[in-house]
Structure 1
Amino acid sequence: MAVVTFLSAKGSPGVTTTALLAAALWPRPAVLVEADPAGGDLAARVPGPDGAPLDADRGLLPLLTTARRGLRAAQVLDQAQVVAGGSRVVVGVGGPEQSAAAGPVWSALGGALRELGQGPSHDSAGPFDVLVDAGRVGADPVHLDLLRASDVVVALVRSEVAAVLHARERLRVLGGALRRPDGSSPRTGVVVVGDLRRAARRADDCAGVLVGPAVEDLGRLPLDPAGAAVFAGAGTARPERTALVRAGRTVVATLAAAAEATATTAGRVPAGAGAA
């Protein structure tokens, strides 16, 4: 199975919302790991299945405190919690101070997530695809080793001139930084977020600026407050009818297919493993 990482280069284009959307719609068993070095907000955004808050003592922080002695996939899965809607999530650190203290632990986490994709031997559900919310990625990300461990890297970009130009430069630099010792790199693409009803052409133009030999066009998502509210703990009638979820089905299907194809090429999952 595969590791798919969501990130942004500038601003707040909805990385966490998109990661939650992907976890809810993913066609195979998946676990979402909140790995934003700036600090995560999943614990505050989404409740458990009974409406109660998530357990603040479970998540990435306990993993970071033990990872210096080695980190295994089973430990990651032990820190996962089920949220309303049925997705499994591992909530992130509280802020940049905890992240900085983690130091080299990010590379150990990357290895554990790759192992999780092989399937912990004790878990009858088999292997998981891993979805990573990596937050905003700057020039020298502390979790670069984690990003390199990804099979697919998805950059969320707002359909605004400044955001697109910034993302183009960041993707150019990041492309070199993501190269692994064996010369390979994660498959990389962009999802453009914007007003698709009034400015669909602008979203297409933005994607055209970003896409190139090393960057794929992975789809469009709308700016949809009602749909985003579903992934911020708010109740919304018929969430499957929101513009975000309807468009999200197409984008998530594209991402899942890309993840499976990449993992298959790498020899980690049989072809057709994700077929319904």
Structure 2
Amino acid sequence: MGILLLTSASGAPGVTTLGVGLALTWPRPVLLADCDPGAHQAVLAGYLAGTSAEGKGLLRVAEAHRDRRSLTEVVIDQSVPLVEDQAVSRLFLPGFGRPSSAALFGGVWPDLTDVFVALDDHGFDVIVDAGRISHSGLPSPLVERASLTAVVLRSSLRSVVSARVHLLALREHPRLQAHQRGLGLIVVGAGQPYTAREIGKSLGAPVVAEIAHDPAMAKHLSDGEPQSRKFDSSRLVRSLHAAAGQLATRVDRADQLVRG
């Protein structure tokens, strides 16, 4: 068990939509953490259809950190369920309420990342939605402790070229220099026009999962639209189930390798 860090370069590949989809199909208890510095509140306004978080989220985590309180219980308390009446626990930690909040969160990241790692003791994996890679990069503690950092991209030339630029910067991180298997690609809509194999070869990184490009079905995950009767059997959901299984196994193996 460990941390899956999701990010993207450009080309609107739908990192948040993917994060929700993976959290809903993950084979083990999971916490989806919104760590996007853009403070878009995309899950609350999208999949959760305007559900109020009642003030819960990273702001309260920062307040607890300032007060030197134990963050493990705070993170669980500040999370909301992604699904009611669930057989497997699927929690969501809301993100920043303001874009400026991320700039003030620097001192919190190390301790929050420690909590994400410690959630293993509570039986949880953690999926982190880090949004697009900004000019300042990703929070270093998250990259340092993530079992897998996955760059999400589409198969268009624009998306591939943008990913190449940002992969150069990611590869400079000491964690990813020491553990090259800690970096991978998730391709959305392979074959439009480039195949996953072509993309992986071009970027020099393994494609760890492929997700079907199915905008109509994805609206349930991105905007909270009612499920189509065909949703559960759709190409999108089938690809999410396959990807969740593959990524959970990869995260587990990477976590064991780092600990060993």
* TM-score normalised by the chain length of structure 1: 0.83
Residue of structure 2 equivalent to 1:229: 219
The structure with the greater share of residues assigned to helix is: 2
2:202 aligned with 1:209: yes
Q: CA–CA distance in 2 between the matches of 1:150 and 1:93? A: 20
- CA distance change for structure 1 residues 186 and 44 in 2, over 3 Å: closer, same or farther? farther
2:251 aligned with 1:252: no
Q: Which amino acid aligns with 2:115?
A: A
1:219 deviates by 2.3
Shift >6 Å, 4+ stretches: none
Unaligned 5+ runs, structure 1: 120-126, 269-276
1:117-266 matches, within 5 Å, as 117-119=120-122, 127-141=123-137, 143-179=139-175, 183-184=178-179, 187-194=182-189, 196=191, 199=192, 201-210=194-203, 212=204, 215-231=205-221, 232-238=223-229, 239-266=231-258
Aligned-residue identity in percent: 28
* Alignment counterpart, residue 116 of structure 2, candidates 113, 130, 141: 113
Q: CA–CA distance in 1 between the matches of 2:45 and 2:153? A: 24
Contact 2:47 2:224 in 1 (8 A): yes
Aligned length: 252
Q: Which amino acid aligns with 2:238?
A: R
1:108-138 deviations in whole A, cap 9, x for unaligned? Answer: 211111111232xxxxxxx200111010113
Unaligned 5+ runs, structure 2: none
Q: Which amino acid aligns with 2:111?
A: A
Secondary structure in 1 matching 2:171:
helix
Which is further off, 34-43 or 16-25? 34-43
Residue of structure 2 equivalent to 1:37: 37
1:11 deviates by 3.2
Q: Which amino acid aligns with 1:190?
A: L
Q: CA–CA distance in 1 between the matches of 2:168 and 2:242? A: 27
Give the CA RMSD over aligned residues: 2.4
**Higher RCO (CA 8 Å, separation ≥ 6 residues):** 2
* TM-score normalised by the chain length of structure 2: 0.87
Q: CA–CA distance in 1 between the matches of 2:138 and 2:209? A: 28
1:223 deviates by 1.8
